[in-house]
Structure 1
Amino acid sequence: MATAFAPPVSNALDGVVDTLRLTQAEIARAAGLPRETLARKERLHSPSAQARLRLLADILTRASAWTGGPLAAFAWYRSQPLPSFGDMTAEDLVRAGRGEAVRDYLSRIAVGGYA
């Protein structure tokens, strides 16, 4: 499970695509990236694209631990409103550039903090 989302990003991307049976366009949308970013090697390896994809992989890995697996983690990521963030989903937050806040939120939950 964790290996499907582990760096390096190009391998993580393949793992996410294979594990979740998503297209690269769906992964790009989930990470808040333009679709063309994953299609062009030079864009895929840009620091900003790498950071977004690593963040997505990290969030899904953390959520997989308590949602029951990668598919459930992605369902949570896309659809579960987070009350701490005005009922935005994790995907909404990542796409808005607030992915670090989602990672921090999951870290708090992991140590028994209030969601």
Structure 2
Amino acid sequence: MAADLKNGCQLGASGNAGDRSDVASRGAVPNEGAHCEEGGANKTLSERGKLAGTGMTHYFDEAGLIDLDRVTDGFHVTKGQLAKITGLNFVAVSKADQQTAPRTQSRVREMLEIISRVIEWTGGTNQALAWYRSEPIPPLGRTAEALVKNGKADAVCRYLDRVAVGGYA
């Protein structure tokens, strides 16, 4: 299983995080139909263990999109705080038509994937969010939050992959 963990999870047949065509066409739930592209090899999220079995799948609606109201309720944050945590502007997380935009969905999905991977290590969702926001990752020199905001979620995933297989932090 550890060998299957790769970075750079992308949803959709085209490799774009906002493309839900492959999931919608099969009627699959997000953690079963989402594909990850890594060196040409496709792995579903359930195969990779990203959101499957983590309790994060309840943040998705019936269409397979992340419901930001569920995220704010689940993490006990306001939409303004969610915007700050993800590096999005307030309009992106508050306006209904912007909540489903590929960039918004991608950024929140990256946050959920990273948090889901550290929940067990940190002891719970609130602790995982605290780690995400405030604990610098030693080899990267920045927090997971700062890295995701700057489009470096893959670096955080690579770090977590190393730690998961017994590598040094």
TM range (shorter): 0.7 to 0.9
Work out whether 1:32 is the aligned partner of 2:87.
Answer: yes
Structure with more contact order per residue of length (Cα contacts < 8 Å, sep ≥ 6): 1
Deviations, residues 74-94 of structure 1 (Å, cap 9, x unaligned): 1101111111112x1111111
**Which of these residues, 61, 66, 76, is aligned with residue 10 of structure 1?**
66
Describe the SS at the equivalent of 1:85. coil
Describe the SS at the equivalent of 2:166. coil
Deviations, residues 66-114 of structure 1 (Å, cap 9, x unaligned): 100000001101111111112x111111111111211221122112122
Work out whether 1:50 is the aligned partner of 2:105.
Answer: yes
Distance across 1 between alignment mates of 2:156 and 2:167: 14
User: After TM superposition, what 4+ stretches of structure 1 lie above 6 angstroms from structure 2?
Assistant: none
How far off is 1:35 after superposition? 1.1
Work out whether 1:71 is the aligned partner of 2:126.
Answer: yes
Name the larger-Rg structure: 2
Q: Percent of aligned positions with the same letter in both sequences?
A: 39
How far off is 1:15 after superposition? 3.5
TM-score normalised by the chain length of structure 1: 0.86
- State the aligned residue count: 112
Name the aligned partner's letter for residue 136 of structure 2. Answer: P
How far off is 1:47 after superposition? 1.1
Structure 1 residues without counterparts, runs of 5 or longer? none
TM-score normalised by the chain length of structure 2: 0.61
Moved more, 13-22 or 43-52: 13-22
Describe the SS at the equivalent of 2:151. coil
Superposed CA RMSD: 1.7
Distance across 1 between alignment mates of 2:80 and 2:154: 22
Describe the SS at the equivalent of 1:114. coil
How far off is 1:16 after superposition? 2.9
